Amino acid sequence: MILAHLDRFDRVLFKVLFRARYKRWQHHTIRMMSRTGDGVLYALFALYLLLYSTPEQLRLLMVLVVAYVVERPIYYCTKNLFQRLRPCDVLTPDAHIKPSDKFSLPSGHSAGAWVFAVVVGHFYPSAVPYLYFWASLVACSRVFLGVHYPLDVLLGSILGYSCALFALLITGTL
């Protein structure tokens, strides 16, 4: 009963937030924000840390790897366990991008962005407001593009944040 009400609220909130008709510059901006969470920037950052490494940067890289090694299997198992169809397949045919798979809960972009933001923010505390703002924008962009419900990005964000804290803890960094 509670889950049905939560699902109904999530669908209504999606309809409020999603707009099928964005101006061209809005669509481009939202899409580019979402793409920053695709994983390419994470790989480039890891490469940078390897090439220009100090002991502290190698520790950062190790914590990031541990966090993603924990987060990715939880993400895949959860997504396949819930098998929640995406809003672009249920509510609107007007999604602004083509999703990589058919299930939406949790949002992998949100989880990945929050892993990155929390871990990097731990090592560079002055960057925390910018990193958290960026991770929030990546998460929100997934709703605005029509491929996730708000609850998907909230739970993905919690997953990423939790996995980052866990990785910081088990590596002795926290």
| pLDDT, tens digit (0-9, with 9 covering 90-100), for 21-43 | 677 778 789 889 999 999 999 99
93 pLDDT above the threshold of 80: no
In this model, does residue 150 exceed pLDDT 70?
yes
CA nearest neighbour of 141 among 19, 44, 11: 19
Interaxial angle between packed helices 150-170 and 108-123, expressed in degrees from 0 to 180 and rounded to the nearest 10: 40
Residue 124 has pLDDT above 80, yes or no: yes
Read off the pTM: 0.92
What H or E segment, with its residue span, contains residue 92? none
Using the predicted structure, report yes or no on whether residue 51 has a pLDDT greater than 80: yes
Q: How far is residue 61's CA from residue 43's CA, in Å, rounded to a whole number? A: 11
Looking at every residue in the chain, the average pLDDT score rounds to 90
Mean pLDDT of 62-88: 93
pLDDT at res. 132: 98
Q: What are phi and psi for residue 100, nearest 5 degrees?
A: -75, -20
Instruction: Please say if the pLDDT value at position 20 is more than 70.
Output: no
The confidence score (pLDDT) of residue 141 equals 93
Question: Please, are residues 71 and 160 in contact by the beta-carbon 8 Å criterion?
Answer: yes
Confidence of residue 90 (pLDDT cuts 50, 70, 90): confident
What pLDDT does residue 133 have?
Answer: 97
